[in-house]
Each structure stands twice: as structure tokens, then as C-alpha cells.
Amino acid sequence: MSEGIAEVNNINIWWEDFGNPSNPSVLLIMGANANALLWREDFINPIVKSGFHVVRFDNRDVGKSTWVTTEPTFNINAGSVVASEVSYTLEDMASDAVGLMDHLNIQKAHIIGASMGGMITQVIGLDYPDRVSSLTPIMSSPGIGLEDSNLQGPTQEMMEAIIESMKLNMEGEYEDALVVNYRVLSGSRFPFNEEKFREQAKEVIAHGHNPFPGHGAAVGQSPHRGVRLSEIDIPTLVIHGTEDAILPYDHGQALAEGIKNAELMTLEGVGHEIPEELTEEITQKIIGHIKGA
């Protein structure tokens, strides 16, 4: 295991890798407002043991990578409270990921992304197809906002949690803000364990927690990918829970239907999460997918 800083697009991107770099690479892209430590090692280790080199990294604006947006502003847009000023897009973040691959001398990788990371995964598949061996968007979406009124928006409970967590962040109560959000993001199948979550959250916050990243703005202002999904001709596995409160299940269905020959893994009773109880099942499905690709 090693780590470092890559200078990409005039910013610093922190990365960490696992396994033999000469093995086929898997790039993990985390979601909005979350740093790389949300990719738990119990998710990473089975993939490494199956013969892959795994890289996780902090997106711009979180963790140990360069923070671009640090001031809170209120603006309800595309179903979330986001920064009003848009200083970058998902296309810029996809360029960060590909730049990191260049830095690490990775020509092609299996790209796995969670939530916003799954959106970045799609952008890489669309704009850099020669750099991709397979795609796995988890609890993600082809896009949000008025461009696709057929897809459900966040639940009312989720919207209230987002606003409450923003207030807590402004008061400096970062751990409590995470608890408010992640409690609602959890599905009914595996009840939210606040005590265990707080233990994990302390480690994540210590790694570098920006309470006001511009990720929501980047998601809300980036082009909707629905009309372009048919351009993706890369082996794709879509994973989505049926009780996702922020990107409901129909977002995953839209991805699976829009991408040629994509497979949909449905997680019954699961929310916007990768439950520890299902980690082995999910990783084994992913390993089969990327080996098949």
C-alpha cells in the first residue's frame, strides 16, 4: 500500500493504492461531500485478493486533495442545497481522475463510482472510452434536475435532512451533520447504527472533511447524460438500492436501460449506501463483472 499527491489540472489530488501495480487497475471514485476513506478496506481487499490493483483518491474539494470551495451559501437546486457559484463541473472531475491515471501510468482501468462518483464514471466512459475496461456506477444517476422530469427527486425527509445538516455544518457540528444525513440515506433492511457510524465518521473527518464543497453545484450544473448513454459501449454493471432516498431506484433503472447490455444488480431494502452486511455479495458481483470484461 502506498500513497501520494498527484499534481493534476493545477490542483493536488491525494491517492492511495492497494495491491500490485502490475495487475489490472481498478479506480474507485467516491460521491459528493465524501472523501476516499468511505471506500472501506473490507470493500477493497476482496478485489485486491482477486488479482487487481486498486486505487482510491480524494476528489477535489475533500480530504487531502485541494479544496476549491469552502464557503457555505444557500441555494436549492436540483434537489439539494448547493453552493451558488459553480467553479467546476463533473467533466473537470473526470479530467482529474484521468489525470491521476496518467500520473500513476495506468493506461486503462475498471472504473467504479458511488453516487456522484458514478456520474463521473459515466463521463469517463463517454469522453475517455479508450481508458476504460469496465464501468460500475453504484447508487448513481444519468443526471438530475428539470432535464429529466420522469425521474423521482429526493424524498421530503431527505430534503429536510440536507437542510438540517447544512445548519449543523455552519455551527461546526460536522459529525452530527453526517449522522443526520446518513440516517436518512440508510434503507430499512439494515437499520442505521449510529454508534458504529460515529466511530467511522471520526476517522473520515480526521482525514480531511470540507463541510462546504462545491460538489452539489457541479452535479446540478453538469450536462444531463441520459441522451448520451447509448454511446457507451463498455461492459457496465449498475448497482442500486430500492430505498434510495436521494437518487431513487428509477435512476439506476434509467442507467441500466440506457447503456447497451448493462446489467442491473438490485439491492432490495437498501438505501443510498453500501451496507457492510452486503459487502461480500457486492464485491463478488463486481469481481465477476470486471473479470468478465
Q: Are 255 and 141 in contact (CB under 8 A)?
A: yes
- Give yes or no for residue 85 having a pLDDT over 80: no
Which positions ≥6 away from 59 have C-beta within 8 Å? 13, 29, 30, 35, 65, 93, 96, 117, 120, 215
* pLDDT score, position 147: 53
Q: Running DSSP on this structure, what letter comes out for residue 67?
A: P
How far out from the chain centre does Cα 262 lie? 19
pLDDT in tens, 156-196: 999 999 999 999 999 999 999 999 999 999 999 999 999 99
Domain 2-292 falls in which CATH fold? Rossmann fold (3.40.50)
* pLDDT score, position 83: 45
C-alpha cell at 121: 464514471
Q: Are 266 and 256 in contact (CB under 8 A)?
A: no
* pLDDT score, position 71: 76
* pLDDT score, position 70: 75
User: Burial of 267 by CB count in 10 Å (0-12 exposed, 13-18 middle, 19+ buried)?
Assistant: buried
User: What is the gyration radius of the CA atoms in the chain, in angstroms?
Assistant: 17
pLDDT in tens, 192-231: 999 999 999 999 999 999 999 999 889 988 888 988 999 9
* pLDDT score, position 59: 98
pLDDT in tens, 16-48: 999 999 999 999 999 999 999 999 999 999 999
CA distances from 237 to 189, 285, 292 (A): 22, 9, 11
- Residue-wise over 68-96: b if at least 16 C-beta within 10 A, else e? bbeeeeeeebbbbbbbeebebbbbbbbbb
Say if pTM beats, i.e. exceeds, 0.85. yes
- Give yes or no for residue 7 having a pLDDT over 70: yes
- The Cα–Cα gap between 208 and 185 comes to 22
Residue 4: helix, strand or coil by DSSP?
strand
Domain boundary assignment for the chain? 2-292
